[in-house]
Amino acid sequence: MASAVAFNPRNVQRREKVHVILDTGSQRSYITERMRDRLALRPLGQQDISILAFGSREGQAQSCDLVKIGLETKSGPKLELKLLSVPHICEPLSSSAVHLEKYFALQDSDLADTLTYTGPIEPQILIGSDQYWNILTGEIVRSEKGPVAVHTRLGWVISGPVETDICDTKPTSLVTHILKVDLEPENKRLDNQLKRFWELEALGIADKEDFVHDQFKEIVAFKHGRYEVSLPWKNPYVTLPDNLELGMRRLKNLLKRLKQNPELLKAYDTVIRDQLDRGIVEVVENPLKANVTRYEKTRLSAGIIILSYGLIITKNLYLGEIHFIT
């Protein structure tokens, strides 16, 4: 344990002597709520932790204030640390005088705590692994038999077995504070969020795809050495218009424009007559009244397109992926 002077960085006149525990087993660093209030520290935010007693299996979730404090050092600049405030760190720890001259050639002024006080000491600050190496300098002195001296910016801290004047068997209750950490990898969380996003985007689509697939399996048939399947109609009873009136109007407008360019009109006439001679197109003598027109697999590389503002085939079919041929 170490002793230090803590102060409020916003008001350096608010100062208190504190006892500090260094604990690498703790993920975060803490200060008691009582000391936080005495220093009048202003919360910077809140974080969730799980509080459990030593040896317990289940913890109690708690939201803690995040505060900033300053610590006086033996040498060098002052420290500023961010700590979580908790109601309690641990029960008062028993303390007894230690004769360091048996182990080290250290002066009392070099120590983080004089070790001359006997009696219970309640720590107000716990320095965990997040701030641990901001405190330690890395210098270590080992005695031949007994404790180890670790140098910190608060002074030398003594740890390990020592001979004391008093044998105290008073039990101490230790409370451990654990930061709640989500161990699920960040990428996995993003994958799950993206999966849920696409599931929401696919509402109403996935059901349609299943329906179209089931419909396809019902209507596909193998005839004359090849598979036959009808178009995937959304409504098999829809009646499509013939667009005769619209087609005639567009044809008249096209002829009117082509008459202004006789050479282009002649080229159109040549192409259409060639298609008639080759059987690609034919004159319909008696128009059929059937609702559905069946198409052969032969396609033109280019053709004349008639636009419609009424019901058209593509709006009444389930469409799949569109592939462009270049």
- Mean pLDDT, range 114-120, rounded to an integer: 62
Judgement on whether residues 29 and 138 belong to the same structural domain of the protein: yes
200 shares a domain with 91: no
| Res 173 pLDDT > 50 | no
98 and 21 together in one domain: yes
pLDDT of residue 307: 47
Q: Are 217 and 244 part of one and the same domain? A: no
Instruction: Give 176's pLDDT tier (boundaries 50, 70, 90).
Output: very low
Number of Cβ atoms within 10 Å of the Cβ of 96: 16
Q: Would the pLDDT of 174 be above 50? A: no
Question: pLDDT: is 58 or 172 the higher one?
Answer: 58
Q: How would residue 326 be classed by pLDDT, with cut points 50, 70 and 90?
A: very low
pLDDT computed for residue 162 by the predictor: 64
Over range 97-111, report the average pLDDT. Answer: 60
Q: Report which listed range, 153-162, 268-277, 313-322, is most confident.
A: 268-277
Residue 139 confidence (pLDDT) above 80:
yes
Task: Judge if 236 and 298 occupy the same domain.
Answer: yes
Select the more confidently predicted residue: 246 or 105.
246
**Digit-coded pLDDT (tens) for 296-305:** 554 444 444 4
Number of domains within the chain: 3
Tell me what pLDDT residue 112 has: 59
Which pLDDT belongs to residue 36? 92
303 in the same domain as 155? no
- Give the pLDDT score at 7: 92
pLDDT band at residue 308 using 50, 70 and 90 as cut-offs: very low
Write down the pTM of the prediction: 0.47
Q: Give pLDDT, residue 240.
A: 64
Of 229, 255, 289, at which residue does a domain stop?
229
Q: Which domain holds residue 197?
A: 185-229
Q: 202 and 190 share a domain?
A: yes
- In a shared domain, residues 85 and 139: yes
Are residues 115 and 131 located together in one domain of the fold?
yes
The rounded mean pLDDT for the chain is 73
Instruction: Name which of 28-42, 162-176, 265-279 the model is least confident about.
Output: 162-176
At residue 309, the pLDDT reads 45
Contacts of 156-164 spanning 24+ positions with Cβ under 8 A: 156/104, 156/106, 156/110, 156/111, 156/112, 157/1, 157/2, 157/22, 157/111, 157/112, 157/113, 158/98, 158/100, 158/111, 158/113, 158/115, 162/98, 162/103, 163/98, 163/99, 163/102, 164/96, 164/97, 164/98
Percentage, residues of the chain above pLDDT 90 = 8
pLDDT at 282: 83
**CA distances, 298 to each of 176, 180, 301, 322, 323 (Å):** 79, 67, 10, 19, 18
Residues 238 and 135 in one domain: no
Give the pLDDT confidence of 34-82 residue by residue, as tens digits: 999 999 999 998 888 777 666 666 777 788 899 999 998 877 788 899 9
Residues 62 and 166 in one domain: yes
- My answer on whether 175 and 198 are in the same domain is no
| Confidence (pLDDT) at 185 | 52
